[in-house]
Amino acid sequence: MPVPVMVRNTMDGPTVLSSDPKGSEFVEWQGAGDPQGGDVQICPASITDTVAFHKCVQRGILVLENPEDNPEIAQAIERQTQAWHDRQRLQTQRAQESISRDRNLDSIVLPCVGPGARGARCGVEVPVKEQTKNDKPPLCSQHAHLAHEYVPQQGEIVDGKATVGWLRMTVGRRETGD
């Protein structure tokens, strides 16, 4: 079984070499002197056995390297490894930042404050986000259209915090000054 070899690109720009016209297997090198070491790649036998590869070597575009004989190649491999570790660390950091541990996304159930029978409240259970429970009145689907008629008012004190109650504002008879 042929052993893959290390190959360095000597051209200024990227170089891509494929094992067949369909490009089912290929190697891509970055330009010479790439700061992340992308100008040195491990090249499988399926690529090195092609005529195109041999022409690139004859023309000096690609150079076969032995990492043990050339410290620059060993450094390029180290830069590739470091760049890979840096990308992994960055991806992990971004993933961790996207996870918000302090957000409260719990849902709670509050009784509907809409009108019910004989002056009582509706009382149907309404699921709301705990974080936004005081932003709008808890109204069931039957009473949701009445939201604009409710105003918040300070309710009782629970665990040292004032709760929010909801008062329905109505328009009464006009008083005359007779």
Which contiguous run of DSSP H or E holds residue 48? helix 45-48
Amino acid at 157: I
Band the pLDDT of 174: cuts 50, 70, 90.
Answer: low
For 115-152, how does the pLDDT look when each residue is reduced to its tens digit (9 = 90+)?
Answer: 888 878 888 999 998 888 888 999 999 999 998 888 88
Q: Residue 54: pLDDT above 90? A: yes
The most confident of the ranges 1-5, 18-22, 169-173 is: 18-22
> How confident is the model at residue 140, as a pLDDT?
92
Compute the distance between CA of residue 156 and CA of residue 165 in angstroms, rounded to an integer.
8
* % of the chain beyond a pLDDT of 70: 91
Closest CA to 76 of 4, 17, 10, 3: 10
Compute the distance between CA of residue 113 and CA of residue 122 in angstroms, rounded to an integer.
6
Q: What is the DSSP string of 71-130?
A: HHHHHHHHHHHHHHHHHHHHHHHHHHHHS-SS----EEEEE--SB-GGG-B---EEEEEG
Closest CA to 43 of 23, 24, 62, 58: 62
Domain ranges for the chain = 5-98, 107-168
What does the chain come to in residues? Answer: 178
Task: Please enumerate in sequence order all residues whose Cβ is within 8 A of that of 111, keeping only pairs 6 or more positions apart, or say none.
Answer: 121, 122, 123, 124, 125, 126, 138
